[in-house]
Amino acid sequence: MKRTPIARETLAGMAALALASAGTAQAQWSGDDQDREWGIDVSLILEGVYFNTLSKGIDEPAGFADGHDHGHGHDHGHGHGHDHGFDEGFNLGHSELVFEASLGDLLDGVLMIGFDEDHVEVEEAYLTTRALPAGFQVKAGKFLSDIGYINSRHVHDWDFVDRPLVNEYLFGDHGLQETGVQATWVAPTETYTQLGVELLQG
């Protein structure tokens, strides 16, 4: 179903349940001059959705009638994998299996596998530095861009089911999610200030 600003949907009963939040499995590796901590956290996040359509709109917003489908049940044409099509009633929503690893003193790693009733895909797989000087950090791999507050967060972190229409029509159902490199710098000020730049593949 295509989405419009005047279409009204009720998506209720979203339940994001964090399971198997395993205690950190740690191992010690001794170098010549210091010990380095290694560990991994594994979590399973399940989402249940009740979907009910009150009205069906088919018009695209002005400027977005480009032939791409952005609504539930259709591919959105932005090359980010699969759609989140829902049937009327209860559905298994977008769930995730997450691996977060501490790789010594220098790097952290994240692997996030998303799945629903029909698809499985690697949503994020990246490394981040944690020992660069002067507040700098580098992230490399496949990740959600930090453009805007909503785009950088996964569905289970939202207080709502659907992403805002402006965000959806600009970046698709999955947001801006690409392979690339991100560099950030936290300024040494009393007020938290972070500046960053990203170089993405697509």
pTM above 0.75, yes or no: no
Q: Average of pLDDT values for 32-55?
A: 76
pLDDT, tens digit, for every residue of 161-201? 777 778 778 887 778 889 999 999 999 999 999 999 999 99
Q: Which residues of 24-52 are buried (b: 16+ CB within 10 A; e: fewer)?
A: eeeeeeeeeeeeeeeebbbeebbbebbbe
pLDDT, tens digit, for every residue of 71-100? 444 344 443 433 456 777 887 778 899 999
Euclidean distance between CA atoms 149 and 31, whole angstroms: 40
Domain ranges of the chain: 9-200
- For the chain, what is the mean pLDDT? 73
Position 196 scores a pLDDT of 95
Greater confidence, 121 or 59?
121
Tell me: pLDDT of 69 over 60. Answer: no
Q: Which two tokens stand for residue 82?
A: 């699969």
